[in-house]
Structure 1
């Protein structure tokens, strides 16, 4: 875990730290080196002649105000990839609040590396960031302290989710996710876990979750994580897609399409991480997180195209494409959550659901689909404030034909291959009662961080959902 302290002068910082500041920062010593670095119009970075610091990085002032393109983070990524000190000093005297939140999450997330999974021989000489000193003005201290505390809790939840998501799928089975979640939740007395095994899934009528998971050697699971920060009040529900590996089933993916499919459980992992963040912040609210866990595998018991399965709310779905399995497990989990809490304040589901949303929005924006306008507006505003943004796609009765089936209440994919993302959301909306506000987040583009041809889990949209929850609590 990375620790932090707030300082008002550079003299208060640890010796031999890496100093990161605005080019115009007034707290910097007026040395010839600093003046030379300030004269540069781009990022200035040196490890030589910068005593008492180990390294000095000066970045143009504009980067500290850019809350749209993450230009500050993009400049810092290669620098943090090879740190030279365990301690860093960050100038936060003049920085946009959204950029500050993004920066802190980025820095706190340095606590997780793929090598931590212990699947690769470790580099004993590698330097890890251990401590942050934040240079701020005395009148900023209370605000900066609040932002640090909140963003560290968010980053801790993101790291837990990222570690789980980055784990290879031969280890990260549905049961492994349950056990790891139980282990992490045990650190917080306010969290309690409830799990359903494959028999209980059938007994409780979760026929869609059962259909997806029954072909795998590792059977499906449903995990509910309960948080009671207050005794009474409406429950806010989050549902995550947890396909621990997706072959496509009998609608088999090609090899390239399967390579990152261990990440098809990022939605569920992020719900788990969100619950840890909520508990760490000790928020005065009641929350339930539901993880719908299954492996979409090939086998003699695998679901077949044309199968009709029944959800726990009684609706039937014709499975005309076994590679559209995520919406099936989500549908059952949404219906199950609404039955557990029929007076829920809202249900928000999170899923790496469709490649189509990436084609529409790219890798920076999560797709938002809902028919509840207040929820749309509040999630959009929270995305802007947190720097973890969403973009709305349409969701109305014009999509009805996309889910019509001649043999069942619904079919799981449109036969015309059009409006894939919105059609999936249209299917899902049937499983949340109209009395409960519901929104769907398609995070296929944002759940991973892509760099240098490699992908790792990003932990998004935990920042968005935490910011939204904090705002929702303030509204009362």
Structure 2
């Protein structure tokens, strides 16, 4: 993890760092700035636009003045958006961030800085760049009376970012390495030294024995067999269990309904839902929350081969429902359905089940890349997740989910079919299928994160770690 500290007075440690502050900050009255005349020149430009320099700014390596209105923007994540281009190529291993102003977006900005712990270079798949600078230390300056609140805020955002970094590293790996078994072993390694976490694994034989026919159908065409991984967190001995389920398709060819090449390129990221469940569990453990939680990762590779599932096949889920597979490229909802049903059987009195998945491209067309799709029939859960999204800056937007979608999942030969034949309401239709696998007495919500699970910048896509911030905020609110 990146180190951080809170300071009330700049010291020699600030020499050579990247200073990020705002015009009018009391920090600028510190004697340290007397030897830095460039600041007065920057102030004239920083009222309405970012002023930034690496020249003539000694004793700092870089100075950035961000207008006050950016710090105070409560709606557009403006502070984080201002920071992003500054840290593409850091000028120093240390940043001194001025947190003395009331900044609604400070939590998001801190979370972003902590996420700089991971870059694609860390995967070890390319030669390191000689002389490249990495952020190693975050110093936060504030007034003494702000210290206590800021300390709690930093601890929370570092824990959230820790889970996000784990999820991002896992999702960014190439799929030939990140197989279902690899995910299991990585989760076991990460949980091994955390007493409150324990892992339970179903291999391909146990999956069949326990009747998870949908998960088996998706994974049986691959030489890398499926797994179901349950991570249990016991922060207290008794109490309702909160369950999270993640889609973990470690690579999606589309199966016999084969994708075209361009559509297959980013399919190593089809396991972001499962990766984020793992990261979420680690964040919960890092915060030592007084709660019982189960995270379920439904892991499979949707491949082609002699044993691949065929269009028209009918398979039975672990809750007894049969599903006609009329599209093998709609596999994510199949593994999710079995995992949701399995989770509900394991804890029939769960407080709620929330699943997350890169499920449909249709949700991206509807909501873009900033909002996750939320589908639920439980109004209190909908309201709670929506509020948590606004608080955390990891927002959701509700899509309809009611009996008007019934025909979208009807089959002439089975209880359900996995895709609508009319190609309409794709995202909501998938959620309508899924709702059959959670008993009505357990509140359930589906998050389609196809647009938000990746961060797109400069023509490249990398894992984002969303919706971990949303779910931690929702859990914290739920515990109040």
Q: Normalization by structure 1: what TM-score?
A: 0.98
CA root-mean-square deviation: 1.0
1:70, distance to aligned residue in structure 2 (A): 2.4
Give 3-state SS (helix, strand or coil) of 1:27's partner: helix
Answer whether contact 1:109 1:155 (CA < 8 A) is retained.
yes
Query: In 2, distance between residues paired with 1:426 and 1:65?
Result: 40
2:43 aligns with one of 38, 41, 45 = 38
Q: Structure 1 stretches (4+) deviating beyond 6 angstroms?
A: none
Query: Is 2:70 the partner of 1:63?
Result: yes
2:277 aligns with one of 249, 253, 271 = 271
1:459 aligns with one of 444, 465, 470 = 465
Query: In 2, distance between residues paired with 1:74 and 1:24?
Result: 21
Answer whether contact 1:20 1:89 (CA < 8 A) is retained.
yes
Which position in structure 2 is the counterpart of 1:6? Answer: 6
Answer whether contact 1:18 1:87 (CA < 8 A) is retained.
yes
Answer whether contact 2:79 2:106 (CA < 8 A) is retained.
no
Which position in structure 1 is the counterpart of 2:178? Answer: 172
Q: Mind listing any 5+ residue stretches in structure 1 that lack a counterpart?
A: none
1:24, distance to aligned residue in structure 2 (A): 2.5
Q: Mind listing any 5+ residue stretches in structure 2 that lack a counterpart?
A: none
Query: In 1, distance between residues paired with 2:102 and 2:254?
Result: 45
Query: In 2, distance between residues paired with 1:364 and 1:281?
Result: 26
Query: In 2, distance between residues paired with 1:212 and 1:24?
Result: 59
Query: Is 2:296 the partner of 1:320?
Result: no
Query: Is 2:286 the partner of 1:255?
Result: no
1:16, distance to aligned residue in structure 2 (A): 1.0
Which position in structure 2 is the counterpart of 1:431? Answer: 437
Closer/same/farther in 2, CA of residues 87 and 411 from structure 1, 3 Å limit: same
Moved more, 13-22 or 448-457: 13-22
Q: How many residues align?
A: 473
Which position in structure 2 is the counterpart of 1:220? Answer: 226
Answer whether contact 1:190 1:228 (CA < 8 A) is retained.
yes
Deviations 1:234-286 (A, max 9, x none): 00000000000000001111000000000000000000000000001100000
Query: In 2, distance between residues paired with 1:33 and 1:250?
Result: 63
Query: In 2, distance between residues paired with 1:371 and 1:390?
Result: 15
Which position in structure 2 is the counterpart of 1:93? Answer: 100
Give 3-state SS (helix, strand or coil) of 1:34's partner: helix
1:330, distance to aligned residue in structure 2 (A): 0.1
Deviations 1:426-474 (A, max 9, x none): 0000000001000000000000000111000000000000000011011
1:389, distance to aligned residue in structure 2 (A): 0.4
Give 3-state SS (helix, strand or coil) of 1:50's partner: coil
Q: Normalization by structure 2: what TM-score?
A: 0.97
> What is the 5 A alignment of 1:46-445?
46-97=53-104, 99-445=105-451
Answer whether contact 1:215 1:301 (CA < 8 A) is retained.
yes
Query: In 2, distance between residues paired with 1:95 and 1:387?
Result: 16
Which position in structure 1 is the counterpart of 2:25? Answer: 25
Answer whether contact 1:67 1:387 (CA < 8 A) is retained.
no
Query: In 1, distance between residues paired with 2:64 and 2:201?
Result: 49
Query: In 1, distance between residues paired with 2:157 and 2:477?
Result: 15
Query: In 2, distance between residues paired with 1:250 and 1:24?
Result: 62
Deviations 1:195-215 (A, max 9, x none): 000000000000000000000
Answer whether contact 1:346 1:437 (CA < 8 A) is retained.
yes
Query: In 2, distance between residues paired with 1:85 and 1:243?
Result: 38
Query: In 1, distance between residues paired with 2:435 and 2:141?
Result: 48
Query: In 1, distance between residues paired with 2:193 and 2:428?
Result: 38
Query: In 2, distance between residues paired with 1:32 and 1:233?
Result: 60
Query: In 2, distance between residues paired with 1:39 and 1:252?
Result: 58
Query: In 2, distance between residues paired with 1:357 and 1:229?
Result: 35
Deviations 1:338-360 (A, max 9, x none): 00000000000000000000000
Query: In 2, distance between residues paired with 1:67 and 1:443?
Result: 23
Answer whether contact 2:344 2:439 (CA < 8 A) is retained.
yes
